[in-house]
Amino acid sequence: MQEILKEQARAILKQNYGYDGFREGQEELITSILQGKDTFGIMPTGAGKSICYQIPALMLNGITLVVSPLISLMKDQVQALNQMGIYAAYLNSSLTTSQYYKALEFAKKGKYKIIYVAPERLLTESFLSFAREANISMISIDEVHCVSQWGQDFRPSYMRIVDFIKEMPTRPIISAFTATATKEVKEDVIYILGLQDPTVVTTGFDRKNLYFAVKHSNAKYDDVISYLEEHPNTSGVIYCNTRKNVEDVCDRLIRDGYPATRYHAGLSDHEREQNQDDFIFDVKPIIVATNAFGMGIDKSNVRFVIHYNMPKNIESYYQEAGRAGRDGEKAECILLYSGQDVVTNQFFIENARENDELTGEALELVKERDRERLKQMTFYCFTNDCLRDYMLRYFGEYKDNYCGNCSNCLTEFEEVDVTVPARALIGAVDSCHERYGISVLIDAVHGSKSQKVLKFHLDENAYYNAAPDISLVRLRQIANHLMLTDYMYQTSEEYPVVKLHEKGLNFLEDEELVISMKFPKVERKQSSKKKAAKTKKVLEGDVDYNLFEQLRELRYSIAKEKKVPPYLIFSDKSLTDMCRRMPQTKEEMLEVNGVGEVKYIHYGEQFMEVIKQAAIQTPEPAAAVSETE
Ligand code: ADP
Ligand code: ZN
């Protein structure tokens, strides 16, 4: 029985989605649902959660309701399903009243297998009366962490799901999905939704196709430009921490001739929507945005995510960076760090929640948690170990410390003795009775005569000017290393001070002890040859770049005509796969990743025509086919 179901599911995967096999966790989740069990999937962004409820939805005999927090996401998913020849609809506030009733009418007639609905709609009289009458097989809840106050974005409207389920004459199967992996959220979801003996599947959080890099930068804009120069015609997101930064960076990019647009909460609804569409449709393939942008953005061909500023915690970073490379093709996540980012985030933590309903004590607890998270984020920017490993450990996953695909793994390091500056820093902490913050201590050890140093009389401290030859940046790195390796720590108060652990005190007392740490051998610069080789190669392997551009152009013109985002016609991955395989027949075309029967019927011939032409021509590197799409 199970085998037959699995086979059917695989057939749908191939037939409708054009994919050859399931990814980690998908089959287990699908089978669980098909056995009628409540099911809870925890998978990172881009892992492929939608398929886990969409395929069972097509196989169950009734309707599946998908609850989803974001209008843009619903629209996107429904369009994607329609492109595959599956009837689906969405019911949310973007519809006019008459459109809404029309859709409900169709739903009553059984036209849709899958209906996306906003949580706010669930308990309205019109929707309830439809739902009570209809044969609802499953309720699927996307972004389910929104029911939990522990999650990063609690949405009270999600509590309506619980009441809605109670209103149903027979309890449907409940399936729930999120990318938030913490224990508290997991337990909350199961408890609040009342999941009955659920199958819980947590897949690994590693996203192998993503390259991670940290760059300490005091010329961030220049760094962005040189990245864009090296990666022409690619789509990506540039995250900034304030609206003002978004405006500045976007203005400069536009002035410098880049097809960029902007997104932040200060824009009108209309402009936000317009800009988002421009990005999704690749009219403006670069978007500069605050963290208000992205939830529910499903654009699969995002090739880079640059953080112009360091975000406030690893959860946010991994989620935002994870919007790159959803199609599984190579993509790059680059964080541009500067010390000011820490200060800005500290300010946000201390001031952001002033008008929340939280009481004094709870508020302080939240702040403390936020400060701790910020610390972990800052350490990420200073570690010399594998960046991927650092983040996965943060999420409780222990791997083998070397990924070979991050800026640290690809940098050659040398072991440097830092005993002298380490003694100076630890000594300074000790001799000033653990009263000061790290910045002023570093200044003192460096021999600065800054206002603060003088005010605290640190120029009279025994360790004042003990390491004048070591740069401030390096001293900061050493201080972070001493915290990461438990010699000292920073308190989690509004004005954190540095204190010593046992290990730090022991180190001071025992003059024999030494400390060494790793530093990049050559200052993080790849040779320019290597850089050049990487250019364009964000597209993997030996893909004919010209053909890719031609296919992309065709995709763009079809998308424009059909008014759907280009990546819903075919993903970048499908296009690169076409470039590799050069399919000449229907059978060959159906072998291509992401090409199912329906898409073949609609677009197969057109794309094959371009490929055939390319196959005739000698594959000499010709002039660039298009400037931008
Ligand atoms: P999530 O919701 O988990 O962030 P999505 O459901 O949007 O991720 O899927 C991300 C991308 O991966 C989509 O483009 C989807 O079509 C693709 N995908 C999902 N499952 C598979 C699979 N088994 N094989 C190939 N691609 C897949
Ligand atoms: Zn690594």
Measured from the Cβ of residue 629, the count of other Cβ atoms closer than 10 Å reads 19
- For residue 571, give the 3-state DSSP assignment: coil
Measured from the Cβ of residue 397, the count of other Cβ atoms closer than 10 Å reads 14
Helix 339-351 and helix 360-382, axial crossing angle in degrees, nearest 10 = 170
How many angstroms does the Cα of residue 330 sit away from the middle of ligand 2?
Answer: 15
DSSP string covering 340-360: HHHHHHHHHHHHTTTTSS--H
pLDDT for 613 equals 87
pLDDT for 533 equals 45
Rounded to whole angstroms, the Cα distance separating 267 from 263 reads 7
Ligand nearest to the CA of 592: 1
Whose CA is closest to atom 17 on ligand 1?
Answer: 48
How many angstroms does the Cα of residue 206 sit away from the middle of ligand 2?
Answer: 11
Atom of ligand 1 minimally distant from the CA of 44: 3
Rounded to whole angstroms, the Cα distance separating 51 from 277 reads 24
pLDDT for 352 equals 63
Atom of ligand 1 minimally distant from the CA of 43: 3
- Which of 17, 81, 86 best tests ligand 1's pocket when mutated (most atoms within 8 Å of CB)? 17
Atom of ligand 1 minimally distant from the CA of 300: 14
Ligand nearest to the CA of 210: 2
Measured from the Cβ of residue 343, the count of other Cβ atoms closer than 10 Å reads 11
Closest by CA to 55, choosing from 82, 76, 31, is: 31
- Taking the whole predicted model, whether its pTM rises above 0.85 is answered as no
Amino acid letter, residue 83: Q
pLDDT for 269 equals 87
Q: Which residues of the chain have a pLDDT value below 70?
A: 1, 149-153, 181, 296, 352-359, 362, 522-542, 618-629
pLDDT for 219 equals 92
How many angstroms does the Cα of residue 407 sit away from the middle of ligand 2?
Answer: 7
pLDDT for 415 equals 87
pLDDT for 356 equals 55
What are the tens digits of pLDDT across the range 575-604? 999 998 999 999 999 999 999 999 999 999
Dihedral angle computed from the Cα positions of residues 117, 203, 327 and 333, in that order, rounded to the nearest 10 degrees: 110
Ligand nearest to the CA of 46: 1
How many angstroms does the Cα of residue 209 sit away from the middle of ligand 1?
Answer: 13
Atom of ligand 1 minimally distant from the CA of 17: 16
Rounded to whole angstroms, the Cα distance separating 445 from 427 reads 10
How many angstroms does the Cα of residue 390 sit away from the middle of ligand 2?
Answer: 9
Ligand nearest to the CA of 208: 2
Residues within a 6 A CB radius of ligand 1: 19, 22-23, 26, 43, 45-51, 298, 300, 326-327, 571
Residue the block writes with tokens 């204190």: 499
Whose CA is closest to atom 5 on ligand 1?
Answer: 48
Largest CA distance in the chain: 84
pLDDT for 304 equals 98
How many angstroms does the Cα of residue 410 sit away from the middle of ligand 2?
Answer: 7
Rounded to whole angstroms, the Cα distance separating 73 from 558 reads 22
pLDDT for 528 equals 45
Where residue 274 falls (left for φ over 0; alpha for ψ -120 to 50; beta otherwise) is alpha
Which residues of 166-309 form beta strands (DSSP E)? 173-178, 199-202, 210-216, 235-239, 260-263, 286-289, 302-307
Residue 343 CB partners (closer than 8 Å, separation 6+): none
pLDDT for 56 equals 97
